[in-house]
Structure formats: structure tokens, C-alpha cells
Structure 1
Amino acid sequence: MELKGITKSYRNGEQELEVLKGIDLTVQEGEFLAIMGPSGSGKSTLMNIIGLLDKATKGSYSLSGQAVEKLNQNQLAHVRNKEIGFVFQQFFLLSKLNAQDNVELPLIYAGVSSSKRHELSQQFLEKVELVDRRKHLPSELSGGQKQRVAIARALVNNPSIILADEPTGALDTKTSNQILELLTQLNHEGKTIIMVTHEPEIADYATRKIVIRDGRITMDTTDSVRID
């Protein structure tokens, strides 16, 4: 993916708040990138633009050779469903669906048959070591188990990119390490991982780090220098 001159502004009454101020970022296939920065720095806004959940005010974004700004809403939804898997801090599992049904949701949107959905959901629940809990509701799972269900859901359409927004923020240290080791394993298998975090010890799992402050990239370990 390649982002050039990305800005993002929000209007609040008569005032315009510029959250991103000219982001240039290239991410190669198979990278494990951590996006760091204090609260309000713009890192989650950048993640939302990368994940096609929001659009930049200005600038260009190319994803797998496609100019994102030229895609309509249906095309954006298709790319999100096929190319990107999302993992969030709060899991966002549907409370009335069991683990297996939650994992199957992206496959329903993709039009996959019922038998194939069952096969794939079990395959990916096995990958995250939760196949024995597939019939449990989210309320019957621990925080770490919920996040592993969310990771299985993110993987089930075989996306090339996993976006993880504070994936361990609601977990204890031991469970956090287990989730990060799973993300590392997925990266070793060829997935591109982009993770938002404000914790240096979490970012250490990534192979590349960028720091955002006041809407600008101020450090990129690819260059091993600060950007003034």
C-alpha cells in the first residue's frame, strides 16, 4: 500500500480540525508495522483510512495497485471484505451468536455456501486453538478467547492484510503476549500486519515502527531517523 500526502479534516461548527497533516507511507507485502503515538495523535484515524473505513480529505492511497479514492461504496466494501481483516480492542463479537457463527459472518457477506462456511470457520477456530469452544457465546468466553475468535473471523476470508487496533488493550499481560505471538506467527506465514498501539513493549513485536505526533509521522524505523 502507498499513501501520499494524506490529510484528514473534520468540521466542528465554524472550526476545521486537521487530524492528519500530509502522511506519506509505503507498506510492503509481508511487513509487520506498528503505528505508535499518544492519544489524539491521529494514529487511529490513519488506521481507519488504511482500512477503508474512512476517506482522506486530500491525498492519494493505492492498495494492491488500486486507487482507493476512485472506488465507490460497493467496491470499497468488496475490497474490505476480501483484502482486509480487522481486529479491535473491544472484539466486537455479536453477543447472541456463538463463536462459530461470529467467525462465519464475513463469509455470509461474501456469499459463501453454508457447508463451506462451517468448514472454514472450524478450520480457523482450530488455528487459534478454540475449536472446542465453537458453540460458546461470547459471554461464556474469556477476554483472550474472545480476541482469538475475532482473529479467526479476521482470517476466515484469507485477507492479505490484518489491521489490529490496540488488539491487547483489554487483556492482561500473559494473554496479550499470547495474542501478539499469534499475530507474529501469522506474519511469518506471509500476512501483512498493521497494528496501532501506544505501548512500546507491544510495538516491539513488530519489525517496523512509525510514530505519529500531531498528525505527522515523526519517526520511521525503516530509516532509523527522526523526521522533523
Structure 2
Amino acid sequence: MADKKILMQLEGITKSFKNGDQELQVLKGIDLVVEEGEFLAIMGPSGSGKSTLMNIIGLLDRPTSGTYILSGKEVDDLSENQLAHLRNEEIGFVFQQFFLLSKLTAQQNVELPLIYAGVGVSKRKQLAQQFLEKVELTERMKHLPSELSGGQKQRVAIARALVNSPSIILADEPTGALDTKTGEQIMELLTQLNQEGSTIIMVTHEPEIADYARRKIVIRDGEITLDTTDSVRID
């Protein structure tokens, strides 16, 4: 069987922040490879660096040092415009708080990444409807976010994340604002999408949510201390 394609590779990634005259090192040399079709959960206590790592993976922040290759492109020296283009092309985001625009319908919210990508009106409407159907929201596509439940809002966010056919879906605490039953439904949907071929990287602090993933890494004090790919604790 052919080797899977490497979608993302981080080598020696560090991130430091200035705090007055002191420097706080949040990430301390992260090495991580993610292949096509993986479902990866990033876990760790508050302050461990997992959110900082997610921001770097999502091209929302730059590392202090190290190399990051995404879909064969080394992103370290790209301009902000180039990063924005790559982000829209390669990454779909699902956030805890949904981040839907309140004055746009579900369909219009899903269309947004396609507008940024320059897709024509007819095609983007067709794609938005197609992906809302995929997340079982056909009957709610003309509704505003205020008219949707929390679970329905997250399904809109997932459709928006999928509509550009990105290489990777980044899900940051995707069930954090949902009740237990609705959270389980969202995780079942993400699991289904992964089984259909989507690559998913998820940040969560909930072990029962992380259990949906097929691979887990644990970050403590800015370092990966466990990666279930090889089940070896890193001392």
C-alpha cells in the first residue's frame, strides 16, 4: 500500500512572548508530522501551549523559530497576504464560539470562504447548499444564526470549514459551547467526515472528546510529552 501524503510538518517550532523585560517561552521545540486522513487530538492543561500551537498550525500566528511546511509549502517567509491566501485555501476552521456573522443567513455564512477565494455567485450558492445538505441543515439554510440552536450553529461552521475542500480541518474546542448530547452529535459528524477522508486536528481538554480521535498528543510546558502514534512517553 502506498505511503500516505504528509500534509503538515513542524520541525523545532518555538514561540516566545515578551512580558516586560522577561521572555516567556510557550513552545519549546515542537516536532510534529500529520498525514492525510488523520484525526488528531491535541490535549494539555491550561497554559500548556496547545492553543498557541493551534494558532501556528492555522497560520494565525508565526513561530519564533523552527520550520513549518503545509501542503508542500514552507510558510516561514510568506507575506501576510500570502499567508491569508494559503490559510483560506488549505485550512477550514471550526471554533468553540462558532463565529457566524449575525446578519447573514446560514447559507451566506457558508459562502464567505468562497467569496474570499473569488468563486462566482452561482457556483458558491450551489456549493454552500451542497455542504449544508451534508451537515443535514437543508431546511435551515435561510435562517439567521439567532434562529438556530447551538448544535445547528456548529453544523453551519463545519459546512463553512468544508466548503473550500481544505487539506485540514482545525477544530478548537468544537463542543465547548454545547450540551453533552449535542456535543456527541457534532463529534459523530466529525468522525464521519474523517472516515470520508477529511484530515482533522482538534484541540480539546476533554478526554471523552479526545477519544473520538485516532491519534492523541499531549502537550505540557510547551513540549509534546505523549504521542499515541507510537505510545511512547517522551521524557
Q: Do residues 109 (structure 1) and 121 (structure 2) align?
A: no
Q: Deviations over 1:17-70 (max 9, x none)?
A: 111011011111110000000111100100110010100001001111111102
Number of equivalences: 228
Report the Cα distance in structure 2 between the residues aligned to 1:226 and 1:44, rounded to whole angstroms.
Answer: 21
Letter in structure 1 aligned against 2:90: E
**Equivalent residue of 2:17, what SS?**
strand
Query: Which residue does the alignment assign to 1:221?
Result: 228
Q: Do residues 195 (structure 1) and 193 (structure 2) align?
A: no
Structure 2 spans left out of the alignment, 5+ residues: 1-7
Q: Normalised by the size of structure 1, how large is the TM-score?
A: 0.99
Q: Deviations over 1:97-136 (max 9, x none)?
A: 1111100000110111111111011000000000110111
Query: Which residue does the alignment assign to 2:175?
Result: 168
Report the Cα distance in structure 2 between the residues aligned to 1:206 and 1:196, rounded to whole angstroms.
Answer: 11
> Which residues of 2 match residues 88-103 of structure 1 at below 5 A?
88-103=95-110
Task: Quote the sequence identity (%).
Answer: 82
> Which residues of 2 match residues 1-228 of structure 1 at below 5 A?
1-228=8-235
Structure 1 spans left out of the alignment, 5+ residues: none
**Equivalent residue of 2:52, what SS?**
helix
Q: Normalised by the size of structure 2, how large is the TM-score?
A: 0.96
Q: Deviations over 1:136-184 (max 9, x none)?
A: 1111100000000000000111112000000000001111111111111
Runs of 4+ with >6 A deviation: none
Compute the displacement of 1:216 (Å).
0.5
Report the Cα distance in structure 1 between the residues aligned to 2:25 and 2:146, rounded to whole angstroms.
Answer: 39
